[in-house]
C-alpha cells in the first residue's frame, strides 16, 4: 500500500507493515528529549512514585536552555535539579548551557532519517527536517515515554506542501513559513506537514529546519522533509551515522494519498512580517513598513543559527543601529557563537551596536534578558508573537526574518531589507 513519509516511519516504529491515518498505534521511541523547563522537574517525582528509572539513559537527551543563566533563586533551583537528575539517572547526553535543545540535537549528530523523536517541547518538530518523525508531548506523556520507551499516538493525515522556485535575495525559509501560517492557517491539528519540491531541495539544512520547526505554528503534529545527499552530509559532518540508502528508504511513495496538496512558488515571495499577535497575521513587509520599534531581537531555535546571524551581519555591516533602538542577539548555541566569532560575523554585529546575550531560549520564551515592557514594540526572528509571549501582555511583537530584523534595527522602524542588500548602503 502506498504510504506517505510519516506513515512509513510510524509503521516501522509500530512493528507493522502499514498504518493508516486515524489509527491509534503504539510506537517505539528512538530518542527522548527535554529541556530544563519540561524535563526533570516534571518527571522526577512521577518516576520516584512509580519506582522506576529511565528505560535507556543513552537514548535520553536533556538540555538546559530555558533558565540559563539563572536570573533568580527559582531559576537556579530548577537548574540545580536538572543537573542532579542527569547525574543520578545516568544521562550521558546532558548539554548544560550549550544552546537551545532543538539546535543541539542535530548539531551533535543525534538525529537521522526514520527515527521517532519525542520531545518535551512543541518545536521538537525541528528534527523532522532530517526525515524523522519528531513531535512534542506533554510532561505526563514524556514521563511515560522515558520510563517505557514507547507511546501511543494517532497516525496523522499528511498535507503535502510543494515548494517550487528559488528564493530571491533577502527572502528566507522564515518568510515561507510566515506565508504558510497565513495561507494554510494554524489549525492543522492531527496533520503532518510533508515539505517537498525543488524549492526545498535547494535549501540548506539550517533553512530546512525552519520549515520543520514552524510546522508547530501551523498546528500540525510534525513537519518532515525526505532526506537527500544534503541531509546525509550534514549528519556525518556533525558526528552522526546514517545509511547511504536512507534517501531511497525514507521518502513518500509516488502514489501516496494526501489530505491536501498545497503549492507555493518561493520565487514569488517578498519578505514577510507577521503583525501582533499571531504568526498568521502575515503580509508582505510593505504592509507594515514604517511601524516604529523599540527593540529588535535575533534569537531562538528558528532565528539565531549561524546562517541567521550571517544574514543580519550582511545588512548591518558598516551601519549602526538607530538611536533609541535595542538590538539584542542571542546565538542559538555556543558552537554558533564560536563560529560567528571565527568568521567575523559577531564583530560586525557588535560594531553595529548589537548586545550579545547568552545562548538559550531567553526572551523568546518570556524568560531572562530582553523582555518587553507595556507598550513596547519588538520585531523578532522568533517563531511566536502571542500576547505576553515576550514580556508584558500590552507589548507588541512582529515576526520576520533576520534580514528584516536587522534592517528595521537600522531604520528604527519596520523596513524592507532588500534595498540594503542591493545598494550596499542604507537607503536615503
List the CATH number of the domain containing 112: 3.30.499.10
Q: Exposed, middle or buried, 134 (CB in 10 Å: 0-12/13-18/19+)?
A: buried
What tens digit of pLDDT does each residue of 58-116 get?
A: 999 999 999 999 999 999 999 999 999 999 999 999 999 999 999 999 999 999 999 99
Same structural domain for residues 230 and 276?
no
- The three-class DSSP label of residue 113 is coil
Q: How many residues does the chain have?
A: 428
What tens digit of pLDDT does each residue of 333-376 get?
A: 999 999 999 999 999 999 999 999 999 999 999 998 999 999 99
**So what's the pLDDT on residue 1?**
85
381 and 298 Cβ atoms separated by less than 8 Å: yes
Report the pLDDT averaged over residues 209-224. Answer: 98
31 and 126 Cβ atoms separated by less than 8 Å: no
pTM given for the model: 0.96
Q: What single DSSP character describes residue 334?
A: H
Report the pLDDT averaged over residues 242-258. Answer: 97
Same structural domain for residues 198 and 276?
no
**So what's the pLDDT on residue 424?**
47
Residue 330 lies in a domain: yes
Q: What phi and psi, each to the nearest 5 degrees, are found at residue 191?
A: -125, 150
Among 266, 288, 305, residue at a domain's last position? 266
What tens digit of pLDDT does each residue of 283-324 get?
A: 999 999 999 999 999 999 999 999 999 999 999 999 999 999
Domain count, the chain: 2
Among 235, 266, 297, residue at a domain's last position? 266
Residue 359 lies in a domain: yes
Integer Cα distance of 306 and 168 in angstroms: 20
In the chain, % of residues over pLDDT 70: 98
Integer Cα distance of 264 and 162 in angstroms: 6
118 and 90 Cβ atoms separated by less than 8 Å: no
Query: Which range of residues forms the domain containing residue 98?
Result: 5-266
**So what's the pLDDT on residue 422?**
67
Could you tell me the pLDDT band of residue 425, with boundaries at 50, 70 and 90? very low
Same structural domain for residues 124 and 150?
yes
3-state secondary structure 41-59: HHHHHHHHHHCCCCCCHHH
User: Given a cut of 80, is residue 132 above it in pLDDT?
Assistant: yes
b/e sequence 92-103, b meaning 16+ C-beta within 10 Å: ebbbebbbbbbb
Among 266, 297, 322, residue at a domain's last position? 266
Same structural domain for residues 172 and 191?
yes
Same structural domain for residues 318 and 402?
yes
**So what's the pLDDT on residue 233?**
98
Residue 428 lies in a domain: no
Integer Cα distance of 304 and 314 in angstroms: 14
Same structural domain for residues 243 and 276?
no
**So what's the pLDDT on residue 423?**
53
Q: 265: how many CB neighbours lie within 10 A of its CB?
A: 12
CA 275 to chain centre: 20
Integer Cα distance of 141 and 27 in angstroms: 13
**Residues contacting 342, CB < 8 A, separation 6+:** none
- The three-class DSSP label of residue 280 is coil
Amino acid at each position: 500500500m502506498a504510504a506517505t513519509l510519516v506513515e512509513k516511519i510510524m509503521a516501522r516504529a509500530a512493528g507493522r507493515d502499514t498504518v493508516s491515518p486515524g489509527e491509534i498505534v503504539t510506537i517505539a521511541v528512538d530518542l527522548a528529549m527535554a529541556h530544563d523547563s519540561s524535563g526533570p522537574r516534571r518527571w522526577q517525582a512521577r518516576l520516584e512514585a512509580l519506582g522506576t528509572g529511565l528505560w535507556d539513559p543513552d537514548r535520553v537527551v536533556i538540555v538546559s536552555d530555558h533558565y540559563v543563566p539563572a536570573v533568580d533563586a527559582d531559576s537556579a533551583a530548577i537548574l540545580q535539579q536538572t543537573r542532579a537528575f542527569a547525574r543520578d539517572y545516568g544521562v550521558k547526553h546532558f548539554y548544560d548551557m550549550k544552546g537551545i535543545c532543538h539546535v543541539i540535537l542535530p548539531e551533535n549528530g543525534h538525529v537521522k532519517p526514520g527515527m521517532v523523536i519525542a520531545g518535551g517541547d512543541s518545536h521538537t518538530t525541528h528534527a523532522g527536517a532530517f526525515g524523522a518523525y519528531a513531535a512534542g508531548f506533554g510532561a505526563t506523556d514524556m514521563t511515560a515515554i522515558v520510563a517505557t520507551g514507547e507511546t501511543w499516538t494517532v497516525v496523522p493525515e499528511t498535507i503535502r506542501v510543494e515548494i517550487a522556485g528559488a528564493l530571491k535575495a533577502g527572502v528566507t525559509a522564515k518568510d515561507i513559513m510566515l506565508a504558510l501560517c497565513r495561507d494554510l492557517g494554524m489549525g492543522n491539528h492531527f496533520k503532518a506537514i510533508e515539505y517537498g519540491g525543488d524549492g526545498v531541495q535547494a535549501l540548506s539544512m539550517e533553512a530546512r529546519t525552519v520549515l520543520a520547526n514552524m510546522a508547530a505554528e501551523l498546528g500540525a503534529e510534525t513537519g518532515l522533509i525526505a532526506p537527500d545527499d544534503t541531509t546525509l552530509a550534514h549528519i556525518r559532518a556533525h558526528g552522526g551515522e546514517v545509511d547511504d540508502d536512507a534517501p531511497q528508504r525514507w521518502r513518500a511513495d509516488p502514489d501516496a494519498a494526501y489530505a491536501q496538496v498545497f503549492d507555493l512558488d518561493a520565487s514569488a515571495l517578498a519578505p514577510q512580517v507577521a503583525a501582533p499577535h499571531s504568526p498568521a497575521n502575515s503580509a508582505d513587509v510593505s504592509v507594515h513598513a514604517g511601524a516604529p520599534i523599540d527593540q529588535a531581537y535575533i534569537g531562538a531555535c528558528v532565528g539565531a543559527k549561524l546562517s541567521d546571524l550571517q544574514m543580519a551581519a550582511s545588512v548591518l555591516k558598516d551601519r549602526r543601529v538607530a538611536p533609541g533602538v535595542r538590538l539584542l542577539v542571542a546565538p542559538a548555541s555556543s558552537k554558533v557563537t564560536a563560529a560567528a566569532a571565527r568568521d567575523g560575523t559577531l564583530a560586525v554585529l557588535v560594531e553595529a551596536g548589537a548586545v550579545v546575550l547568552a545562548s538559550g531560549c531567553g526572551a523568546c520564551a518570556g524568560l531572562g534578558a530582553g523582555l518587553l515592557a507595556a507598550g513596547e514594540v519588538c520585531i523578532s526572528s522568533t517563531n511566536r508573537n502571542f500576547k505576553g509571549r515576550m514580556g508584558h501582555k500590552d507589548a507588541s511583537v512582529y515576526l520576520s526574518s533576520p534580514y528584516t530584523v536587522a534592517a528595521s534595527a537600522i531604520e528604527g522602524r519596520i523596513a524592507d531589507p532588500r534595498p540594503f542588500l542591493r545598494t550596499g548602503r542604507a537607503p536615503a
